[in-house]
């Protein structure tokens, strides 16, 4: 998976948080089929100190896990695939547009998010496949190799002692961020948007990701 910069998750890492659920007048029962775009994921790995580096293989594993969890979710409509992934150039354009679209949604007040037009390439990809509704999931996060977190905790304790408690660094074990959108290709509008981020949430654990997705869709599906 090609490395992508996910700007939409710049912000607080202090707690678990779900944004306000944004939905349109489209009821879940109206969505008979939901075309799932290939999840866009970016996972970083900390091996030494607190320096995180992008990991392509872990990002790919994360994308496959997210797609499987979406398909297996009991309350979801029928999930179908999009064929745009057969063309690398189109796939990269759509991934870029989806990231930019979600990042821009975050800059708008909740009541104004429905006014943001869905990217043209995203709409055309759905129409060419014969789908009206499409879902995109964008996620990023970081994990640590075994032993790294313990070493950082011990290092923090040492610094706390040396500074007499004036400075007490507390490392974050892991972090997981997820954003989901559903769009309507017929009206070229946003149907649903929500995101969730979790401090100390291991982004590569299926139970963590499943809880996050459940929180995201709790009041819709």
20 pLDDT above the threshold of 90: no
Q: Residue 32 is encoded by which pair of tokens?
A: 């008979």
pLDDT band for position 11 (50/70/90)?
very low
> Which among 17, 7, 13, 36 is positioned nearest to 183, based on CA atoms?
36
Percent of the chain with pLDDT over 90: 50
pLDDT band for position 220 (50/70/90)?
confident
Give the per-residue pLDDT at 14. Answer: 47
Average pLDDT in the 211-215 region? 94
Q: Is the distance from CB of 67 to CB of 39 less than 8 angstroms?
A: yes
Average pLDDT in the 198-204 region? 90
Give the per-residue pLDDT at 2. Answer: 44
Mean pLDDT over the full length of the chain: 83
Q: Is 196 helix (H, G, I), strand (E, B) or coil?
A: strand
Average pLDDT in the 164-192 region? 85
Task: Report pLDDT digits (tens) over 89-131.
Answer: 888 999 999 999 998 998 888 888 888 999 999 999 999 999 9
Average pLDDT in the 29-39 region? 92
The total number of residues shown for the chain amounts to 221
Average pLDDT in the 49-58 region? 89
Average pLDDT in the 36-50 region? 91
Q: Is the distance from CB of 216 to CB of 195 less than 8 angstroms?
A: yes
Give the per-residue pLDDT at 87. Answer: 77
Give the per-residue pLDDT at 164. Answer: 65
Give the per-residue pLDDT at 10. Answer: 41
Give the per-residue pLDDT at 81. Answer: 84
Domains of the chain: 17-145+175-216 (3.40.50)
> Which among 13, 51, 10, 11 is positioned nearest to 172, based on CA atoms?
13
């Amino acid at each position: 998976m090609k490395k992508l910069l996910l700007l939409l998750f710049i912000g607080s890492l202090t707690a678990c948080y779900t944004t306000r659920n944004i939905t349109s007048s489209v009821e879940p029962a109206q969505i008979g089929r939901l075309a799932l775009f290939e999840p866009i994921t970016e996972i970083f790995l900390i091996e030494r100190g607190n320096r995180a580096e992008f990991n392509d293989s872990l990002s790919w594993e994360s994308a496959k896990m997210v797609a499987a969890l979406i398909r297996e979710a009991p309350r979801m409509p029928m999930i179908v695939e999009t064929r745009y992934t057969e063309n690398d150039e189109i796939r990269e354009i759509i991934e870029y547009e989806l990231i930019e679209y979600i990042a821009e949604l975050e800059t708008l007040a909740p009541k104004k998010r429905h006014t943001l037009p869905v990217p043209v390439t995203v709409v055309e990809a759905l129409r060419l496949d014969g789908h009206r509704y499409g879902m995109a999931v964008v996620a990023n996060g970081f994990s640590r190799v075994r032993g790294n977190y313990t070493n950082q905790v011990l290092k923090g304790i040492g610094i706390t002692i040396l500074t007499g408690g004036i400075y007490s660094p507390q490392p974050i074990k892991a972090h997981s961020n997820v954003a989901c959108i559903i769009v309507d290709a017929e009206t070229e509008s946003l149907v649903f948007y929500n995101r969730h981020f979790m401090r100390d949430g291991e982004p590569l654990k299926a139970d963590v990701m499943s809880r996050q997705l459940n929180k995201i869709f709790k009041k819709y599906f």
